[in-house]
Amino acid sequence: MEYLSSLILIAVGAAIINNFVLHYFVGVCPFIGVSRRVDMAFGMGCAVTFVITIAAFLSWVFTAFVLQPGAPLTAWVWQTFSPASDVTVDLSILNYIVYIFVIASSVQFVEMYLRKFFPPLYKSFGVYLPLITTNCAILFACLMIMKYVSGVTGPEAWDLGKALTLAIFGGVGFTIAIVMMAGIREELDHCDVPVPMRGAGITLIVAGILAMAFMGFTGVDRALANLMK
Amino acid sequence: MLTWVLVILAAGTMLLLALVMSLILGWANRTFHVEVDPRTEAIQEALPGANCGGCGYVGCNEYAEATAKGEAQPNLCTVGGASVATAIAGILGVAVEETWPYRAVVHCAANYDNRLGRSAYVGEPTCSAANVISGVQGCIYGCLGFGDCVLACDYDAIHMVDGLATVDYEKCVGCGACARVCPRNIISMVPFKAERMFVVACSNKDFGNDVRNVCKVGCIGCKACERVNDLLHIESNVATLNYDNYDPAKVDFSAALNKCPRESMLFVGKPSALDLAAVADEELPDRIEADFKTTADDTEWRG
């Protein structure tokens, strides 16, 4: 029960309270770039969610078994070479490069998959699909997971379930934010926006107002935690 | 010792990762392979990439796909003209008929002073709005002068000069946006077989007397041009030019131009050597740039 409630807290936290885009301001590039139409925004949100999940899964596996200080796989290799040593081997210098490697590969995979099975979506993404590679929202999710996995022991350490919950609901939060943005921008097309603010200006203003609105969720996690006690 | 083991471990991890990922991606590449017609890409390269929609497709890419599939003719690109048509035809391995760039021609020559029977119009300052109200000006065929075509043009190639839509042939790419937006359909796309084209600049289909009442320059259907030139015919009381047989090398239009009692025929496009010589010694004022100090627009009524 406690595990379930912690999962719910992570999910709500990632999706709404600490929304990746509107609280941490990561992944703003597709948030502004692909939020012109709701269907495209939803597709982008789904693609990011998919990539973020794969990347989080792989990065959790690599961090937990290979990269963190005293990881089982590295420790085993080290023990076979020098059985007498009691040094903890730490490969966490490789964290960033491995994450970027993993993200780039999964984006490539998604791109090929979309090109084969959803050509219209592939076309409408255009340059933004390869740009998921450099989408900081995904690297951010990997780094969040690293924070709770690498070198952390005991009940504080996250297992795969928690990592995946963070990734999936982080992606859901991104989808919520970008779809809301696209809905607002579709309405904006019919509005008489003052000339100097047209285009990027009004979009950024809307994004800022959205972010402020999401600040209203602060504290919901504490109330939820009390509720589930 | 520890450092070296660390380095080897790190390198081994990266290599292993690279191996696994390349295996997965290689498998995915083969499984999800999509056949793309190489000709489509070649045609995309050949097209100018203006995405103007003049060919009737949404963008250059769609047109490239359609031509590669054989659904569209290779000579539809108005921006690229003959050179692009030849290039595409070469890629597709088909022969292309001779093509000319299509350019917009306004079939009206009356500026404010030449239009009679105008009355004050207070309302939405667009041609499409003014067109549904009778009596804005005497001529119900001619240019209204509110500049819907100017707004439609993405290339800054059509302007209101003294109330008459005037095409800048240096800039016109022939996308046809102005012709589509004109509520009176007086802009047509004409094959420019020469840099200087002879056109009939009137669309008024009324009888001569009625034209005289509303316009100082409009075609009265007197058939004077028809008698001196085979390509010109009076249809519905207005002179029309047969562009299919238009051959700038063979046909001399000066007789028709001189015979016309009105001023509804003219040459458009690049000025001829004679024209340039005539104005060579004239002092031209410097180009006056727009002054954006005021927020008032210039769409007020000029009667």
A123-132, A182-191, B2-11, B246-255 — which one is most confidently predicted on average? A182-191
Does the predicted model carry a pTM greater than 0.90? Answer: no
CB crowding B197-223: b at 16 or more within 10 Å, else e: bbbbbbbbebebebbeebbebbbbbbe
How high is the ipTM of this complex? Answer: 0.70
Q: Which residue has the tokens 């999706």?
A: A15
A78 touches chain B (CB under 8 A): yes
Percent of chain B with pLDDT over 90: 8
Chain B residues with CB-CB distance to A116 below 8 A: 31-34
Tell me the nearest-neighbour CA distance from A109 into chain B, angstroms: 6
Mutate to test the interface with A, among B2, B7, B13, B57 (most CBs of A within 10 A): B13
Residue B296 predicted with pLDDT over 60: no
Q: Least CB-CB distance to B13: which of A66, A78, A113?
A: A66
pLDDT for position B227:
85
SS3 state of residue A116: helix
Task: Check pLDDT > 90 for residue B278.
Answer: no
Q: Taking the CA of residue A80 as centre, how many other CA atoms within 13 Å lie in the half-sphere pointing to its CB?
A: 6
| pLDDT confidence bin for B288, thresholds 50/70/90 | low
* Angle at the Cα of A191 from the Cα atoms of A185 and A195, rounded to 5 degrees: 95
Chain B residues interacting with chain A (CB cutoff of 8 angstroms): 2, 5-6, 9-10, 13-14, 17-18, 21, 24-25, 28-29, 31-34
Query: Is B9 close to A91, i.e. CB distance below 8 A?
Result: yes
Chain A: closest CA distance from residue B2 (Å): 8
| Record: contact B9-A89, CB cut-off 8 A | yes
Check if the beta carbon of residue B225 is closer than 8 Å to that of residue B242.
no
In this prediction, residues B3-19 reach a mean pLDDT of 86
- CA–CA separation, B76 vs B67, rounded Å? 10
Closest residue in B to A96 (Cα) is: B14
Alpha-helix runs per DSSP H in B71-185:
81-92, 127-131, 148-152, 177-181
Write out residues in chain A with pLDDT < 50, as ranges: none
CB-based contact B6 A62, cutoff 8 Å: no
Residue B190's beta-bridge partner residues? B103
**Are A127 and A30 in contact, with CB atoms under 8 Å apart?**
no
Q: Look at strands B232-235 and B238-241 and give their pairing.
A: antiparallel
Whether the CB-CB separation of B81 and B101 falls below 8 Å is answered with yes
For residue A101, the distance in angstroms to the closest alpha carbon of chain B comes to: 8
- Give the total residue count for chain A: 229
| Yes or no, beta carbons of A93 and B10 under 8 Å apart | yes
Lowest-confidence region among A104-113, B32-41, B214-223, B294-303: B294-303
Judge: A109–B25 Cβ closer than 8 Å, yes or no. Answer: yes
Model pLDDT, residue A140 = 92
- Facing B32 at nearest CB: one of A90, A97, A116: A116
CB < 8 Å to A110, chain B: none
B243 by Cβ neighbours in 10 Å (0-12 / 13-18 / 19+) ranks as middle
With CA atoms as reference, the chain B residue closest to A105 would be B21
- What pLDDT does residue B282 have? 74
Could you tell me which chain B residue has the CA closest to the CA of A65? Answer: B13
Residue in A closest to B5 by C-alpha: A78
B13 contacts in A (CB within 8 Å)? 66-67, 74, 91, 94, 98
Identify whether the C-beta of residue B193 lies closer than 8 Å to the C-beta of residue B247: yes
pLDDT of B45 higher than 60: yes
pLDDT for res B232: 86
**Can you tell me the mean pLDDT for B282-294?**
65
Identify all chain B residues contacting A96, using CB atoms and an 8 Å cutoff.
Answer: none
For residue B21, list chain A residues with Cβ-Cβ distance below 8 A.
101-102, 105
- pLDDT higher than 70, residue B69: yes
Q: Which residue among B13, B21, B33 places its CB closest to the CB of A105? A: B21
Indicate yes or no: CB of B2 within 8 angstroms of CB of A62: no
A96 close to B (CB below 8 A): no
Could you say which of B10, B13, B28 has the minimum Cβ distance to residue A109? B28
Chain A environment of B9 (Cβ under 8 Å) = 74, 77-78, 89, 91
